Amino acid sequence: MNHKAYLALALPLIFSTITTPLLGAVDTAVAGQLPDPSYIAAVAVGTIIFNTMYWLFGFLRVSTSGFAAQAHGAGDTEGGILAIARPFFIAVLVGIGLIALQWPIIGLCLPLLTPDPHVQSLAKDYLQIRFWGAPFALLNYVILGWLMGMSMIKVSLFLQVLMNCMNIVLDLLFVFGFSWGVSGVAAATLLSEITAFVIGLAIVWNASPFKRKLPTFHKVIVPSSFKKMMKVNRDLFIRTVCLLTVFNLFTAKGASFGTETLAANAILIQIHYIMAYFFDGFANASSILTGKAIGSKDKSLYQQTLKLSWQWAIYSSMIIATTYYLLSDYILRLFTSIPEIIEMAHNYEIWIIVFPIVISLGIVLFGVYTGATEAAPIRDSMLLALFIYLIAYFRVVPIAGNHGLWLSFILFSAGRSVFLVLFVPRLSRKLFPRTL
C-alpha cells in the first residue's frame, strides 16, 4: 500500500461522502436566497433537529462498513450478507418509530432551540414533511456503509451524487418554480431520500452475494454476533450523543444571540460539515483498509494504512484551510445574498480556517478504529473532548459571546484528535499482540 493506491481508494470516497452534507448545504443555500432571514434560520433549526436524530443512528453506516470490510477481507460471503441484514433490520424499526413519535419530538425540540415565533412556524412546516423520510434516510446509511465496506466505491459514489443532484433540481423547482418556500426545501430532500433508497436497494440486491435468498431471521439475530455488533453500536451511539450535545448547545446558544447570528452560524456550520465530510472520505478509506487488514490478518497493510492516514490527514487539512482562507467570500455568497449575514459570517470565519487543522487527525483516525470495529476508544475520546467543551462553554461564552462559542467548539475538535492519537498504541497492540 502506497500513496497512489491509498488515494485511488480515498478520492472516490471523498467525492462520495462529501455529498452527504450537501443535502443540508443545498437546503441552506436555497433558503438563503429568499429575502427574509427567517427562512434560512428555519431550515437551520430543522436541519439541526434531523442531524440530531440521524446522527444518533449514524452507527448504522459506520459499523456496517467496518463489519462488511472485515468479512470482505476474510472472504466470508455469509458474513458479508449478515453485515447488511442486521443493521437493515434495526433501521426499519427505528425509522418507523421516528415517524410515530414525530409530534412529541417536534414539540420537545423546537422550544429548546428557542427560535422566534415566525421561525418556529416555518421550521415546523419543514419538519412535518422531512419526518416521513426517516426510514429511508436510515436505510440509506446501511446501504452506503455496506457498499463502502465491500469496496464498491463507484456504486456508492453514483448513489450519493444521484441523490444530491436530484435534491438540487427539486429544491430549485419547488422553491423558485412553485414558490413552496421552506416546505419545498423539505419536500425536495424527502423525494431524494426515497429515490436513493429504491435505487440503492436494487443495486445491493443485484450486486451482492444474496443469490435471491435472504438470510434466516435466526442467523440475523444469532446472540454472539448480534451482541458484538450492538456493543460497537452502543459505543458509537455514545460518541454521537456527545456530538449532538455539542451541536445542540451550540445552536441553542447561537439562537439566543439573534436571528442574524443564528443564520450566520448556520452557514458556517454547513461549511464545517463539508470540511468534515471531506476528511471522512479519507476515514472511510482507512476504515476499509483496516478492516481488510484485520480480516486477512495482514499486519503490514495495517501499519501502512495507519501511516498513510496520519500523512493525508495533515496534508489535506492544510489544503482545506488555505482554500477557504483564499475563497471565503465566494463561498459565503453561494449560501446567501443577504449582505448583513455575509458580513457577520466573515466576523467568525477565523474559526472555520482553524477547524480543519485541529480536527483532521480525529476524523481520519476514527476510520481506523471503526475499520477495526474497536469503538471503545472512540467513545472515551469523545467523552473527554466533551468535558473540555463544557468547561469552555460555561466559562468562556458568557465573556466572549459567539466568539467564545466557536472557541469552545474548536477546543472540542482538537480534543477529539489528541485523545484518539493517544489511544493508537493500545489499539495496535490489541490488533497484533505478537508483532506490535
**pLDDT, tens digit (0-9, with 9 covering 90-100), for 289-343:** 998 888 888 899 999 999 999 999 999 999 999 999 999 889 998 887 788 888 8
Q: Take residue 69 and report the three cell numbers written for it.
A: 470490510
d(CA 361, CA 372): 17
Tell me which of 86-95, 146-155, 222-231, 303-312 is least confident.
Answer: 222-231
94-100 long-range contacts, CB within 8 A, separation 24+: 94/57, 94/134, 94/135, 94/138, 95/134, 95/135, 95/136, 95/137, 95/138, 95/139, 96/135, 98/53, 98/131, 98/134, 98/135, 99/131, 99/132, 99/134, 99/135
Q: Is residue 398 part of a domain?
A: yes
* Cβ contacts of 156 within 8 Å, gap of 6 or more: 13, 16, 144, 147, 148
pLDDT at 435: 47
pLDDT at 359: 94
Number of domains in the chain: 1
Q: Is residue 436 part of a domain?
A: no
- Residue 224, judged by CB atoms within 10 A of its CB (0-12, 13-18, 19+), counts as exposed
75 DSSP 8-state letter: T
Q: Is residue 310 part of a domain?
A: yes
Give the count of alpha carbons within 13 A of 83, CB side only.
Answer: 32
* Cβ contacts of 235 within 8 Å, gap of 6 or more: 375, 376, 378, 379
* Mean pLDDT of all residues in 282-286: 89
Side chain identity at 271, as an amino acid letter? I
| CA 246 to each of CA 109, 110, 147, 349, 409: distance values in angstroms, whole numbers, following the listed order | 15, 17, 30, 19, 8
pTM for the full predicted model: 0.75
Q: Is residue 178 part of a domain?
A: yes
Select from 248, 278, 254, 253 the least CA-distant residue to 267: 254
Q: Which domain holds residue 411?
A: 3-431
Helix (H, G, I), strand (E, B) or coil at 72: helix
Q: Is residue 88 part of a domain?
A: yes
* Mean pLDDT of all residues in 399-410: 94
Q: Is the pLDDT of residue 220 over 60?
A: no
Mean pLDDT estimate for the chain:
85
* Mean pLDDT of all residues in 129-150: 90
Residue 240's pLDDT band (cuts 50, 70, 90): confident
